[in-house]
């Protein structure tokens, strides 16, 4: 692992911490600007960004959340969920932490208070994924009234990749701004890969436990049982996974609809469960054991991410009876989660043409009582092979504006292959932009300050500030310097010195 994976000095920046109540210190990226100002940016890098931090993958990250967890355990005698605390009027250190974090850049009176965070969690409109067994993770919040978050999927398939490579991929995604990481490994060393990721990643980790359960029965779907699945949930809960994708909503009654589709079932978990139901001629065992699932989730404060096993895999299948039938079921399950004090979010599509996106958001809110929505794109066309980060970013930005709380990234390799590091970087930055565009459109109080700083830097030809304020300073710098060997030029390589609109405009202003 390269020591300089997170080298903020290159961006004329440093990690600073904003202090809250005792023991609370929220890391942010402070960029020093050429005009003497500085700006605070939301940051996912954790202590890796500390210039003095020594990376040691064997040792793992400091478990800084442990004192908070231990204090609660001593007081309450058992793990309670962030939802339970919120419902009972208690503001946890995690809630205060995210309030400070979300307020980066907010102008005027802080609009995101710890009490606001608590109230949103209590209302079920937001979750704070924080398994006590993952004390290395920095608290973050997923909800429609907060910054739109993004998730990066990593994980080896049967076709490749090793453990250290997966950890590096997770940190690489975090470096570019991923708010959570899902480990979707399905090949060898699932347990060890996940362990290494959990101990070394400063963001919440999600998984799809079904994948490992299936590995445990050697890939034979007919051998899957509730017991194997239950055992897998507990194994992963003990390790510290923060949220589980659970395909509890796909039912036998939905299958005839799904099998008539152009692209059938495109969710791996959904297809496995559909096959299991067909073989056993009986109902989804996660659905029939859902209260027991909730018991486990509550015991570890793991958030349920209710999987959309019937998400559309093509425009032709969007918003159909299979998809919305399952969504209704997910709404019922979300209710059961809340009755069991379990934090819950709902997963969504998939492939959806632009004019059908809003209906997804509206029905999700209605059926699921405003539980946070977590979507994969949606992709607004089926023909984007090789460019599906773009078809998905278009749909993602729109649904984020409409109220979706988290976007799962889609890479250029979608439908074709597993992403490499370049693809992960491209996809994370792409989705950060989509999420950020949504934050601006929905009026998040901290969203606009970075754009304003960038535009001012642009108008004043502060090139280094433009690089450092962008989401990928290295790329912006490289593009500019390939053409102009000078970071102090008062023009850019697009128009050259004689045709710079901004320079001409300023010559007018100076006289006026």
- Of 309-338, binders to a second copy (CB under 8 A) are 313-316
Residues 193-232 that bind a second copy (CB under 8 A): 211, 214, 219, 221
Nearest to 134 by CA among 66, 208, 52: 66
Could you tell me which residues are beta bridge partners of residue 375? 348, 407
Distance between CA atoms of residues 130 and 243, nearest Å = 8
Helix H or strand E encompassing 73:
helix 66-76
Contact 427, 409 (CB under 8 A): yes
Is residue 307 a contact residue for a second copy (CB under 8 A)? Answer: no
Q: How far is the CB of 54 from a second copy (least distance, A)?
A: 31
Q: What is the DSSP string of 323-363?
A: HHHHHHHHHHHHHHHHHTT--EEEEE-SB--GGGHHHHHHH
Give the residue, chosen from 264, 359, 363, 487, that forms a contact with a second copy under the rule CB under 8 A: 264
**Least distance from C-beta 128 to a second copy, angstroms?**
27
169 vs 450 by CB, closer to a second copy: 450
Number of Cβ atoms within 10 Å of the Cβ of 151: 24
Query: Cβ 150 to a second copy, closest distance in Å?
Result: 13
Distance CA 223, CA 432 (A): 40
Give min distance, CB of 115 to a second copy, in A.
27
Take residue 433 and report the two structure tokens written for it: 């932009």
| Distance in Å, CB of 250 to a second copy, minimum | 12
Report helix, strand or coil for 283. coil
169, 413, 462, 464: which one binds a second copy (CB under 8 A): 413
Q: Which of 270, 331, 348, 403 binds a second copy (CB under 8 A)?
A: 270
Binding residue count for a second copy, defined by CB under 8 A: 108
- Using rule CB under 8 A, residue 393 touches a second copy: yes
- Told to check if 54 binds a second copy by CB under 8 A, we report no
Among candidate residues 411, 416, 405, 316, the one with its CA nearest the CA of residue 102: 405
CB 71 within 8 A of CB 110: no
**Which residues in the 349-388 window bind a second copy by CB under 8 A?**
353-355, 380-387
Bridge pairing between strands 205-207 and 25-32: unpaired
| 246: contact with a second copy by CB under 8 A | no
Residue 155's nearest CA partner among 143, 173, 137, 142 is 173
Q: Which is nearer to a second copy, 78 or 159 (CB)?
A: 159
Q: Which is nearer to a second copy, 78 or 494 (CB)?
A: 494
Q: Is the peptide bond preceding residue 350 cis, with omega within 30 degrees of 0?
A: yes
Asked if 504 interacts with a second copy (CB under 8 A), we say: yes
Residues of span 471-500 touching a second copy by CB under 8 A = 471-472, 475-476, 479-480, 482-484, 492-500
- Contacts (CB under 8 A) with a second copy, residues 108-147: none
Among 216, 252, 338, 506, binds a second copy (CB under 8 A): 506
Q: Which of 233, 433, 461, 464 binds a second copy (CB under 8 A)?
A: 433
The CB-of-259 to a second copy minimum distance in angstroms stands at 5
Which residues in the 140-179 window bind a second copy by CB under 8 A?
A: 157-160
Please tell me what DSSP assigns to residue 59. Answer: T
User: Which SS3 state, helix, strand or coil, does residue 237 take?
Assistant: helix
Question: By C-beta, is 76 or 490 nearer to a second copy?
Answer: 490
Q: Minimal distance in Å, beta carbon 308 to a second copy?
A: 12
| DSSP character at residue 139 | P
Examine residue 408 and tell whether it contacts a second copy (CB under 8 A): no
| One-letter-per-residue 3-state SS of 293-306 | HHHHHHHHCCEEEE
From 49, 337, 397, 408, residue interacting with a second copy (rule: CB under 8 A):
397
DSSP category for residue 490: S
Query: Considering beta carbons, is residue 47 or 380 the nearer one to a second copy?
Result: 380
Instruction: With contacts defined by CB under 8 A, name the span among 15-23, 99-107, 369-377, 428-436 that binds a second copy.
Output: 428-436
The one among 81, 267, 319, 364 contacting a second copy by CB under 8 A: 267
Beta strands 25-32 and 180-183 are: unpaired
Told to check if 455 binds a second copy by CB under 8 A, we report: yes
Interaction of residue 285 with a second copy, rule CB under 8 A: no
Pairing mode of beta strands 25-32, 13-19: antiparallel
Task: Check residue 429 for interaction with a second copy (CB under 8 A).
Answer: yes
By the 8 A CB rule, do 195 and 205 touch?
A: no
Query: Which region, judged by CB under 8 A, interacts with a second copy, from 109-117, 170-178, 368-376, 395-403?
Result: 395-403
- Residue 408, helix vs strand vs coil: strand
């Amino acid at each position: 692992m390269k020591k300089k994976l997170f080298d903020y000095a290159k961006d004329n920046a440093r990690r600073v911490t904003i202090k809250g109540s005792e023991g609370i210190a929220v890391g942010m990226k402070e960029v020093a600007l050429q005009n003497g100002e500085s700006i605070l940016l939301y940051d996912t890098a954790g202590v890796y960004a500390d210039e003095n931090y020594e990376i040691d993958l064997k040792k793992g990250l400091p478990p800084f959340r442990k004192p908070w967890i231990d204090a609660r355990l001593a007081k309450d005698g058992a793990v309670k969920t962030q939802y339970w605390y919120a419902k009972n009027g208690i503001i946890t250190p995690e809630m205060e932490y995210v309030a400070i974090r979300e307020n980066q850049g907010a102008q005027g009176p802080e609009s995101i208070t710890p009490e606001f965070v608590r109230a949103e969690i209590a209302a079920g409109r937001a979750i704070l994924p924080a398994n006590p067994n993952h004390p290395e993770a920095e608290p973050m919040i997923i909800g429609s009234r907060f910054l739109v978050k993004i998730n990066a999927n990593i994980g080896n398939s049967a076709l490749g990749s090793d453990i250290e490579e997966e950890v590096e991929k997770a940190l690489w995604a975090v470096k570019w701004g991923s708010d959570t990481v899902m480990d979707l490994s399905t090949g060898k060393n699932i347990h060890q890969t996940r362990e290494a990721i959990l101990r070394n990643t400063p963001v919440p980790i999600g998984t799809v436990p079904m994948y490992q359960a299936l590995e445990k029965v050697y890939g034979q779907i007919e051998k899957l049982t509730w017991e194997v699945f239950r055992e897998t949930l507990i194994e992963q809960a003990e390790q510290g996974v923060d949220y589980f994708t659970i395909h509890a909503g796909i039912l036998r009654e939905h299958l005839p609809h799904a099998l008539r589709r152009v692209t059938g079932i495109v969710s791996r978990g959904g297809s496995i469960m559909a096959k299991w139901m067909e073989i056993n001629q009986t109902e989804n065992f996660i659905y029939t054991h859902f209260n027991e699932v909730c018991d486990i989730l509550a015991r570890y404060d793991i958030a349920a991410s209710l999987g959309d096993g019937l998400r559309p895999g093509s425009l032709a299948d969007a918003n159909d009876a299979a998809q919305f039938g399952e969504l209704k079921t997910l709404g019922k399950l979300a209710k059961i989660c809340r009755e069991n004090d379990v934090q819950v979010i709902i997963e969504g599509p998939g492939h959806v043409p632009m004019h059908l996106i809003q209906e997804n958001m509206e029905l999700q809110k209605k059926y699921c009582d405003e539980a946070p929505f977590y979507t994969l794109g949606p992709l607004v066309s089926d023909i984007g092979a090789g460019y599906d980060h773009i078809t998905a970013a278009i749909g993602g930005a729109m649904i984020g504006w409409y109220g979706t709380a988290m976007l799962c990234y889609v890479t250029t390799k979608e439908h074709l292959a597993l992403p490499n590091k370049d693809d992960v970087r491209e996809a994370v930055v792409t989705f950060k932009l989509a999420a950020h565009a949504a934050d601006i459109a929905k009026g998040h109080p901290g969203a606009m300050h970075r754009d304003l700083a960038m535009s001012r830097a642009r108008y004043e030809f502060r090139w280094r500030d433009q690089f450092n304020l962008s989401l990928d300073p290295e790329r912006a710098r490289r593009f500019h310097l390939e053409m102009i060997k000078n970071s102090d030029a008062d023009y850019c390589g697009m128009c050259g010195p004689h045709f710079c609109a901004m320079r001409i405009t300023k010559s007018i202003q100076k006289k006026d």
